[in-house]
Amino acid sequence: MALVAGQVQTSGYKIPDYSGAAAAGGAAGASPFNVVSGLVDQYAKNKKEESQINVAKKTAASRIDSMLNLYGDKIPGLKDQLQSYKSILSDTKMSQYEQGLTAASLIQELDNLINMNIQASQYGIQQLKMQQMQQSAAGSSGGGTDLFSDG
C-alpha cells in the first residue's frame, strides 16, 4: 500500500553482503590456475637445474679427459685417479642432485690439481734457471780467487 502512495519504505531492510561468497568463488576459480601455474614454474626450475647439472658433468668429464691426455702418463697414479673420477660421474645410483654436487666438486679438485702442476712446473723452471746462472757465473770467473772461500 505504500507503493500506491509513491514511497517505498527502506528502513529496516538490510542489503545482503555477498562479498565473502564472491571472494571465495573467485579464489576457488583462481585456484586451478594457481596450481597449474605453480606446476609450470616448478617444471621450469627443475629443467634449469637439470641443465646446469648436465653442463657441470660435461665440464668435469672434459677436464678429466684433458688431464688424462696431458698428464696421465707423466704423474704416477694420476691416470687411475682420473679414471675413478670418470666412473663416479657416470654412477647411475646417485640422484641428479648428487651428480651435480659431485661434478662441481670434481671440477674444483681438477682445477686445484692443474694449478699445483703449473706451480710445480714454474718452480722447476726457476730452479733450472738458477742452476744455469750459477754455472755460468762459475764458468765466467775463469778460475780466479773465490772471495768467499777460506783459502
* pLDDT, tens only, 80-112: 888 888 888 888 888 878 888 888 888 888 888
Q: Is the pTM of this model over 0.75?
A: no
Domain regions of the chain by residue span: 47-135
**DSSP code per residue over 117-130:** HHHHHHHHHHHHHH
Burial code of 110-143, b = ≥16 C-beta within 10 A, e = fewer?
beebeeebeeeeeeeeeeeeeeeeeeeeeeeeee
According to the model, what pLDDT value does residue 35 have? 67
Alpha helices in the chain (DSSP H): 2-5, 19-71, 78-89, 96-140
